[in-house]
């Protein structure tokens, strides 16, 4: 199976916030943004796996800044790590007021996708090899984030989360 780089899965999606995308305060509705993020993340996972994918989980999404009517939204998505049949995708969302030229980060999130074969069954995905320092940091943290997701979903016992346990052990020694 082919080995890929995070850059191979990069997706940059742009949307313009129109009146039907906003709430009564003329801010982008959170659900609309999550919808756009899911599309961008799915395209990234598909580029990495060359398969159809389904969303398996969405990590905490914190809205750091509201996005206003008329703003241009840029969503950057790329696979940070591939596991056997799943992939973690990192998303960064930017809001730009084009007339003023201001651009600010709105939020970030991690989504997880599972690749499917022709019969709709989970299938293996290519390994990913990080290149940049940022990619290496995201890759290293992905196993801890995965273990946390599995614990929260009830599919892993906390005592089995070796990466998370190692963090707490290291913290005890630092005190």
- Residue 53: left if φ>0, alpha if ψ -120 to 50, beta else—which one? beta
In a structure prediction context, what are the per-residue pLDDT tens digits for the chain, which is 175 residues long? 689 999 999 999 999 999 999 999 999 999 999 999 999 999 999 999 999 999 999 988 888 999 999 999 999 999 999 999 999 999 999 999 999 999 999 999 999 999 999 999 999 999 999 999 999 999 999 988 898 888 888 877 877 777 777 777 776 776 6
* End-to-end Cα distance, the chain: 44
Which domains does the chain possess?
Answer: 6-129 (3.10.129.10)
**Model pTM score:** 0.89
DSSP helix/strand/coil, 9: helix
């Amino acid at each position: 199976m082919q080995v890929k780089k995070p850059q191979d899965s990069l997706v940059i999606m742009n949307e313009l916030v129109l009146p039907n995308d906003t709430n009564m305060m003329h801010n982008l509705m959170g659900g609309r943004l999550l919808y756009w993020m899911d599309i961008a993340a799915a395209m990234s996972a598909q580029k990495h796996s060359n398969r159809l994918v389904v969303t398996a989980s969405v990590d905490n999404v914190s809205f750091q800044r509201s996005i206003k009517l008329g703003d241009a939204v840029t969503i950057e998505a790329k696979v940070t790590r591939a596991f056997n049949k799943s992939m973690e995708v990192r998303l960064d969302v930017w809001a730009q007021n084009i007339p003023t030229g201001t651009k600010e980060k709105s939020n970030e999130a991690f989504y997880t996708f599972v690749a499917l074969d022709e019969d709709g069954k989970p299938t293996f995905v290519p390994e990913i090899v990080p290149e940049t320092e940022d990619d290496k940091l995201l890759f290293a943290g992905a196993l801890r984030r995965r273990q946390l997701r599995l614990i929260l979903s009830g599919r892993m016992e906390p005592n089995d989360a070796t990466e998370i346990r190692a963090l707490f052990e290291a913290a005890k020694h630092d005190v």
